[in-house]
Structure 1
């Protein structure tokens, strides 16, 4: 049923579940419940207007990158979600647990579990970078925790050529920004994540993060101006917070 490249063949009961879902009208991302109570996730290419295509990019190309990223990182033994099956227009992965944004903002999550999840996420990102890979956009929504392991999803920005310290640094800045965007007071769990990250990351990454923050500070005035037009933007509001966080931690968190 598949024309997957770099994907493992689907196995019962996955074949029927996936086939049934593909007969339904396309939804970009949807869960696929399994008979045993577990679930898969189906991601499909959207039918975009020209304007949306310009904003989001070529969805098939991004999906191909994501498949390649899962396959390459899995081959290297890195913590990515398990890919079940894939095609030019769709991709199926296993469930990897709750994402960090949910864990950060949910009042039902205990502080100890939240800290453990963020430390595991930092360790996972450090191992990815030490192996010479980058995620491309490791936001709070792109890292999941199942109670034991942190795994990456959403690898549409994966690229083989991004293997230098500046690429690792940009990953780290995106992680910091996303965390403070979700909760501007989340310094404790952010410190736990970055502490674990630096234990496993390549040497020289934190100075590269400082250099990246300096470069990004050059666009901060433009972001401040944009905030006047978009006062409710959490992303724009979090940028100076992320830059200040890095500046305040000259050595290491």
Structure 2
């Protein structure tokens, strides 16, 4: 069903392009219908660039005040099922049902509404529920081939409708986008280092602590002093390049250019 302001094809000679119905066009359409009734060829002549089919669809789907656009009742569904079954029993193909004729038996409903209601809700051959991996693969292959032409995409996936294909494709895209955003955020957090000292608060007294010195004999051969990166809650052992001997004191201290801060080692000093 065509909603107000919906995007449709507009005709310019042999060239077609997408264009929304404007309020001015809607007014022209209403006046033309009042003058000519449902003679769509005459109506379309008063709306530049619109075809008879577009005028009919726009009027019946959006502007006709006599068309019911709300929920379908159980009685309407029963009438629609009976009408479709009667056509199928008469030998009419499921792909060529006369929806305009079917709609005549349902008060204030159009052929487009009947077709949409049957296809999306009542057709027993349409599969409901979650999509499996095989269907997702078929969907992605169909979109890669046909783009977002959902009528062609749906033709490649048995028991799924155009609306189902469009909805599932949007879900897949959103899931991929969310996963990429989460991965990027986690990556930035993992590699966030603070390489500049924080400014000192003049109100807070500065505590000076003498540097830690470890004698070589006090460090086990299988274990090095642990260190932590400023701002990161993880600990690891510093490489040999960050350690040196102090010539004035026979002990092992951190290199002056090292960005690591020693914490209390797990062995006695």
Q: Does TM, scored on the shorter chain, surpass 0.5?
A: no
TM-score by length of 2: 0.21
Higher relative contact order (CA 8 A, sep 6+): 1
Write 1 or 2 for the structure with the bigger share of helix: 1
User: Which of 1 and 2 has greater Rg?
Assistant: 2
TM-score by length of 1: 0.22
